[in-house]
Structure 1
Amino acid sequence: MKLHHVLPAVFAITTLHAFAVQAADAPPGMTEKVRGTLVSGSAEAVTLRTASGEVLNARVTPATRINAVSAATFADIHPDSYIGTAAATQPDGTLQAIEVHIFAPSLRGSGDGHRPWQGSDGNQATMTNGTVGQLQGQDGRQLVVRYANGEQTVRVPAGVPVVRLDPGTPALLLPGAKAIVVAAPGEDGQPQAQSIAVGVGGLTPPM
């Protein structure tokens, strides 16, 4: 994993679009996404340790978006659900989901659209955020996902992780929780958390 050092923090360099639904308007190329385990967290700061041992220290501000990520199932997806789904393009051009996250009603519209995406394994894929229009196929596991400028049909095989995203608070930032922090340098150059997705009940966010 290539690393970029910014003062006391260590950022894992990945694309912003891996969690574009909650990213703030930072200059292109300066926003970083880091996955790991929370060492500590509060309404003022968060410390995250990656699987390889690097540590990210970032400020938390009133503008930081915090989401709770909890377990869900495919049965929780219905027509008119607002979802995001990472997907891999198959040889025949169809999309096959890698994970699906269901947004709470208050988060409807987050990251609306279809874009390139890079997963935690470094592989290139796509991210589609939009409204489920139909559940197709004999088993109903083929979703038509509609967004402002188009739609995509995504196949969701059995066993693909499905989670729910709900608005959260700093009370979720507990030591040992698995999390994803999207951060960018603030005006003083210090890392500032733009968004934090925190797994609930020991869940590791799959996004």
Structure 2
Amino acid sequence: MKRRMLLALAGGLSLQAGLARAQAPAAQRVRLRGRIDSISAERMEVTLPDGGKASASLPANLRVTELMPVKLSDIREDSYVGVAAMRQPDGALRAVQVMVFPASSRGVGEGHYPWVMGEGSTMTNGTVGSMTTGTVGRVGKGEDLVLTVRYKDGEQRILVPEDAAILTFTPASRDRLVPGTEIILNGTRAADGSIAAASINVGKDGVLPPN
């Protein structure tokens, strides 16, 4: 009897622990633009565009990439791209930036999901299936580039206006992260508000994508 009670108690505690983990809020994606104030091996302090301050922990496997502009003509059928877009009132997607991934990064983050540029923002990572000109819904002038981006669960038609940023990237050293450098930090924010960086983008010759 005593043994059965102990086993039941242990099972109950295990169930409670499992429920607690299930109910714990998931870390939220965060994307911060800022200027590095100070940096160490484990932590970075930055000033945000509005003058606010932020601090982020830096993991040993932090990814640092250098962004550089490319031409619209560098996007081709079968290119693997990541398109940050804003959903328009009629549901159409209008690109803010297109990241042309190097061949070695094909498949990274594949899919279509909400992004961190504000309400209505999306990210679509996939392979360019077709490139046409025209409009998407009521968006565009009829001569804009329209990409069909395909991923494993579907596809999206996205209008790429003339003012969209077209970028690519190459891996960079952490040595590029010095005080005064403008960066974009991608990571997560925990329930207690603490930020953990996963990757940091620096721009070649000061180039950075729009927020």
Shorter chain as normaliser: what TM range?
A: 0.7 to 0.9
RMSD of equivalent CA atoms:
2.6
CA deviations on 1:135-176 (whole Å, 9 max, x unpaired) are 112657111111111111111011211111222220221333
From 111, 126, 139, the equivalent of 2:122 is 126
Using a 3 Å threshold, how does the CA distance of structure 1 residues 33 and 158 change in structure 2: closer, same or farther?
closer
Q: Match of 2:108?
A: 110
Q: Match of 2:153?
A: 149
- Aligned-residue offset at 1:74: 1.1
Q: Which runs of 5+ in 2 are unaligned?
A: 1-24, 135-142
Q: Match of 1:74?
A: 72
- Aligned-residue offset at 1:113: 0.4
CA contact (8 A) 2:87 2:120 kept: no
2:170 pairs with 1:176: no
Aligned residue-pair number: 178
Consecutive aligned runs of 4 or more in structure 1 exceeding 6 Å deviation: none
TM normalised by structure 2 equals: 0.72
CA contact (8 A) 2:165 2:209 kept: no
Using a 3 Å threshold, how does the CA distance of structure 1 residues 190 and 87 change in structure 2: closer, same or farther?
closer
CA contact (8 A) 1:42 1:171 kept: no
CA distance in structure 1 between the aligned counterparts of 2:133 and 2:209, rounded to whole angstroms:
28
Using a 3 Å threshold, how does the CA distance of structure 1 residues 93 and 55 change in structure 2: closer, same or farther?
closer
Using a 3 Å threshold, how does the CA distance of structure 1 residues 76 and 42 change in structure 2: closer, same or farther?
farther
CA deviations on 1:123-145 (whole Å, 9 max, x unpaired) are 42221111111111265711111
1:141 partner SS: strand
From 69, 84, 87, the equivalent of 1:86 is 84
Q: Match of 1:195?
A: 199
- Aligned-residue offset at 1:190: 6.4
Structure showing greater radius of gyration is: 2
Q: Match of 1:49?
A: 47
Q: Match of 1:95?
A: 93
CA distance in structure 2 between the aligned counterparts of 1:193 and 1:159, rounded to whole angstroms:
29
For 1:13-52, list aligned pairs within 5 A. 28-41=26-39, 43-52=41-50
Worse-superposed segment, 63-72 or 147-156: 63-72
CA distance in structure 2 between the aligned counterparts of 1:204 and 1:42, rounded to whole angstroms:
23
Q: Which amino acid aligns with 1:143?
A: L
- Aligned-residue offset at 1:40: 3.5
Using a 3 Å threshold, how does the CA distance of structure 1 residues 128 and 183 change in structure 2: closer, same or farther?
closer
2:124 partner SS: strand
From 43, 52, 58, the equivalent of 1:60 is 58
Identity of aligned residues (%): 37
- Aligned-residue offset at 1:92: 4.0
- Aligned-residue offset at 1:117: 2.2
